[in-house]
Structure 1
Amino acid sequence: MNGWGGRLLGVVGMLAAVVVAPVPAVGNSYVGVGDAQSFWLHLNGTPTPEWMLAAEARRHAYIVLNAWEGDKLRRIKHHNPKVQVFVYKDLSSTRSYACRGGVDDKHLPAGVGYCAADREHPEWFLENARGKRLEYDGYPGHWQMDIGNTAYQNTWADNVIADAKASGFDGVFMDNALFPCDAYHPGVCPRKYPTDAAFQTAYQQMLANTRPKFTAANLKTVANLSNARLHAGVWDAYTEHLDGGFDEWWLAFSNDNLLPEYDQGWSRQVAEVAANERRGKITWVQPHFSPGREQPFRYAMASYYLVVGDKAAIAEVEKTDDYGDPTARDPMYYWNLGSAEQPYREIAPKVYRRDFTCGAVIVNANPTKSGPVRIDLGQPYADERNVPVTAVSLPGTSGTVLRKSC
C-alpha cells in the first residue's frame, strides 16, 4: 500500500532476539490487509515542487486536489498512473467568494455557482425560520444549499461530473455530508429541515439520486462523514449510495484526547472501516496529533489494522483543516504484517487483538489513564522499537503493532 508497500526481514529463534527491518517494496502493490495505505488531501494551495509530487504520487493510494489543479493531477499521474486522484466538491454549500463581477469561476469548490444560483434559483438557498439565508459559522462565503431539492441535486451532479471528467479525475470527494440540522450554525436548523431526521433523509435522497450519474461516468465517490459515530446507522445509510466514506476525526482528536470505548466511542469508528471493507468500499480515516507522539499514533494504527482489508487508508494530521504540505510518515507505514488469519477478538474487557501471518496488533480501548493490562503474546515478536518481546503491557487508549518472522 501507500505506493510504499513493504516486507519484513528477520531472523527469529524461539526465545532469541527478533530483528525486523522494514524494506520498501518496488512499485505499487495495494494488496494485503497488513500493508497500510495512506492518502493526501492537498487543498490549501501550498507549493508542490516536482520532487514532492513524485514522492507523494508513489506513496499514497488516494490523493484529493482542488478542481483548478488539473496540472497537478497530470503530473501526479505521470509519476504514478495507479494512484486514484479525487476532486474536492462541497455537497452542501455554494461559495460567494468564487464569483467575481457576477460571473462564477470556471472551476468551483462546489457543484453550483453562487451567482448562477442567486440569479436563477434563489429557492435553492436554505433559510432559517425568519427567511434569512444560512451562512456557515466560521466559514465566510459558504452558503448552505437545499440538498433535498431534486433540481439542485441534478444540477450539482451534472456540473461536478463535467468538471471532473474534463480534467481527468478518478473520483469526487464530496465534503460536508452532514447529520445534525444545525451543523455550521449551532442551535439554528433550516426552516425546511427542522429535525436531524428530516435533514438526514434529504442527504440520503441526494446521494441515492445522484449515484447512477456518477456510476455511469465511472467516477468514484467518497464523502466526508465526520462525526457519524454520534448518529446511529447513518454511516451505512449514506455509504450505501457511495463508493466510500471519510472520517475526518478518527479516534485521536488531539495529543491527549483519545476516544475510548463506549456506546458512541471506539467501536463505532472501528465499525465504519469494518462495514466498508465487507462491502468493498473505501474508507479514509484521519487521527489528529502532533508528529512524534507515540501513544495516539500507535492507538490509531493498531485500531486501523484490527479491521482493515484492502480498501481503507489512514493519514494523520496535526491541525484542523491543515490540508497543505504532506505530513511526515512514521516507518510503520513501510511495514507489512502479512495477511490476517482471523477477525479481531476481545481478549480482555475492551482489549482487542488481531493476528497476522507476520505480526499482531493489540488495542486497549479502556479510558485514558486506566491501569495497564498485561498480555502474554504466546511467542516472540518485535515491538515498535524492534525490541524482542513475549508480553506487552498496555494502558487505556493505547495500542501496539508487533512483527514476527514469517
Structure 2
Amino acid sequence: MPDSADVRAARDAGPAIGRDDTRAASTNSLGQLYLDWDERSLITQHAGAYSWEVLQSYMRDHIDLAQLKANNPNMRLFMYFETAGAYDETPDATWPSGMPYQWVKANHPDWILKDGAGKDITFWNGSLHLYDVGNPAYQDEWAKRAVDYARSGGFHGVFGDDVNMGESFLTSWSGTSSKYASNIAWTRAVESFLERVSPKLKSAGITFMPNVASLYDSDRATQVRWAKLAGAYAREHYQSWSADTELLGGAMWAWMASLHRDIVAAGIPFYAFPHGGGAQATDKMRYTRASFLLWHESSVGGGFAYSTGGGPQTGRDPYNSAWTFDLGAPKGAAVEQPKGVWTRSFAQGKVVVDSNTKKATIR
C-alpha cells in the first residue's frame, strides 16, 4: 500500500469525519497508518489514543517525531518500507519508501526483474518497478537499509509492504518474469526473503511487521509460518474491501476469522487495517473492529487501525467512536450461536458480529 504518486504535491486536508473523543480509546490495540502526504497534519492528533502508528520514512522531515513520542511515550512507531519494488524517482529521495530505484539501477541492475522484451516489470498500475525479492544480496541490502533508516529516524519497527503470496500479486505485474513465472515460485521467493531478513531486523532490535496479501481461500498454514518467521503479521482490507459497503461475510469472513485465530493461537501479534472513508463508513468501522475484537488477545499483542489514506478521503481524520470504543478486558472467548453469529463479552459490554448479514452491534 505505497503512498500515491502525487505525495510530493501538497493538497489541502479535508474536514474531519465523525470525530468523537468522548470515549477513551484502548491503548492495547488502536493504531493508525499515515502513508500519504495529505495526512501529515493528522499525525500529531489524538495524543494518547493510539498505541502504534505507521509513517512514511520521509515524514521525519515534516513531523517532530521526538515530540510525538513525548506526547505518548508508550506508542510504537513503525517505518513504512516497500519490500517488492520502488518508484522511479530522479534523483532518489533522501528517505525513500523502498530500495531506491536509481541506486539499484546503477549498482545492481540484475535486481530489477524484466519481461521477455527486456523491459522493467512494474506493478500496481505501473507505479513501482519490481525487484527480485528472492535474491540473497537484495535481501541483505534491504535489511541493512531498513535497519539504518529506522534507527536514524527513531522508529521502533519496520512495516514491510507487499509481502504477497504469488496468486494475489502476479496478476498486477506489467509482464512475465522467466524466473518467477508461477505463483508458487514467487511465494517461495517471498518466504526466503522472510527467512533471511527477519533475523537481521530482530538482532538489531527492530520489530518487523509484514503486510501480507493472499487470496481469501489460500493456504493459512503458509501465512502462519510467515507470521512466525517475522514475529508479526499485518492484514490490509481486514474483513472488507476499500469501498464503504464492501464487507466480507459468510465463508469469506469465516476464512479471515480462522486466519486471525490461527496467528493469535501461535502467539504472534496480528495487525488489521481496513480502509475506505466517507461519512457513511461508520457501519464498516464498527463491523471490522468488532470482528477484530472477537479474536484479539492483548497478552499476544497486535492492533487495529481504520485508515482513510490512499483514496478520496485522504487527509480526513478517520478517528470515530464507531471503531475507537473501549470495552475493557475480555471476559472469555468468542462464542458462535447461531451459525455465523459470534459474541464476545468484555468488562464494559459485548460485541455481536453477524457475518450472515454483515452487521455488528456493541452492547
Q: TM-score, normalised by structure 1?
A: 0.75
* C-alpha distance 44-238 of structure 1, shift in aligned 2 (>3 A): same
Give the secondary-structure state (helix, strand or coil) at the position aligned to 2:272: strand
Residue type matched to 1:118 in 2? K
* C-alpha distance 124-293 of structure 1, shift in aligned 2 (>3 A): closer
More strand by share: 1
- How far has the Cα of 1:53 moved from its partner? 4.2
Mapped contact 2:32–2:306 kept (Cα < 8 A): no
In the TM superposition, what are the counterparts of 1:198-213 in structure 2 within 5 Å? 198-213=185-200
Aligned to 1:61: 51
Matched, 1:90 2:106: no
Aligned to 1:223: 210
Moved more, 341-350 or 88-97: 341-350
Q: CA RMSD in A?
A: 2.5
Name the CA distance, whole Å, in 2 between partners of 1:309 and 1:232.
23
* C-alpha distance 230-125 of structure 1, shift in aligned 2 (>3 A): farther
Residue type matched to 2:75 in 1? V
Name the CA distance, whole Å, in 2 between partners of 1:168 and 1:323.
29
Name the CA distance, whole Å, in 1 between partners of 2:147 and 2:122.
25
Matched, 1:148 2:101: no
Name the CA distance, whole Å, in 2 between partners of 1:91 and 1:229.
22
Q: Structure 2, unaligned stretches of length 5 or more? A: 1-20
Matched, 1:398 2:363: no
**Which of 362, 365, 373 is the matching residue for 2:355?**
365
Mapped contact 1:42–1:324 kept (Cα < 8 A): no
Aligned to 1:274: 261
- How far has the Cα of 1:23 moved from its partner? 4.6
**Which of 138, 149, 166 is the matching residue for 1:163?**
149
Residue type matched to 2:52 in 1? Y
Give the secondary-structure state (helix, strand or coil) at the position aligned to 2:79: strand
Matched, 1:355 2:341: no
Mapped contact 1:126–1:134 kept (Cα < 8 A): yes
Name the CA distance, whole Å, in 1 between partners of 2:147 and 2:240.
34
* C-alpha distance 344-304 of structure 1, shift in aligned 2 (>3 A): same
Mapped contact 2:40–2:59 kept (Cα < 8 A): no
* C-alpha distance 163-135 of structure 1, shift in aligned 2 (>3 A): same
**Which of 288, 291, 298 is the matching residue for 1:300?**
288
Mapped contact 1:126–1:133 kept (Cα < 8 A): yes
Aligned to 1:370: none
Residue type matched to 1:78 in 2? A
- How far has the Cα of 1:247 moved from its partner? 1.8
Aligned to 1:133: 120
Aligned to 1:30: 27
**Which of 58, 64, 79 is the matching residue for 2:71?**
79
- How far has the Cα of 1:352 moved from its partner? 1.5
Name the CA distance, whole Å, in 2 between partners of 1:235 and 1:184.
20
Runs ≥4 in structure 1, deviation > 4 angstroms? 318-324
Moved more, 151-160 or 225-234: 225-234
* C-alpha distance 357-44 of structure 1, shift in aligned 2 (>3 A): closer
Mapped contact 1:291–1:318 kept (Cα < 8 A): no
- How far has the Cα of 1:212 moved from its partner? 1.3
Name the CA distance, whole Å, in 1 between partners of 2:84 and 2:170.
13
Residue type matched to 2:223 in 1? W
Instruction: After superposition, give the CA deviation of every residue in 1:267-287 in whole Å (9 maximum; x if it has no partner).
Output: 222233323333142413314
State the number of aligned residues: 334
The structure having more radius of gyration, on CA atoms, is 1
Q: TM-score, normalised by structure 2?
A: 0.83
Name the CA distance, whole Å, in 2 between partners of 1:148 and 1:113.
17
Name the CA distance, whole Å, in 2 between partners of 1:222 and 1:299.
24
Instruction: After superposition, give the CA deviation of every residue in 1:123-166 in whole Å (9 maximum; x if it has no partner).
Output: 111122343320124243x1100000000000111111111111
**Which of 140, 163, 175 is the matching residue for 2:161?**
175
More helix by share: 2
Aligned to 1:259: 248
**Which of 313, 316, 321 is the matching residue for 1:331?**
321
Name the CA distance, whole Å, in 2 between partners of 1:333 and 1:296.
9
- How far has the Cα of 1:326 moved from its partner? 5.3
Aligned to 2:4: none
Moved more, 147-156 or 88-97: 88-97
Moved more, 239-248 or 283-292: 283-292
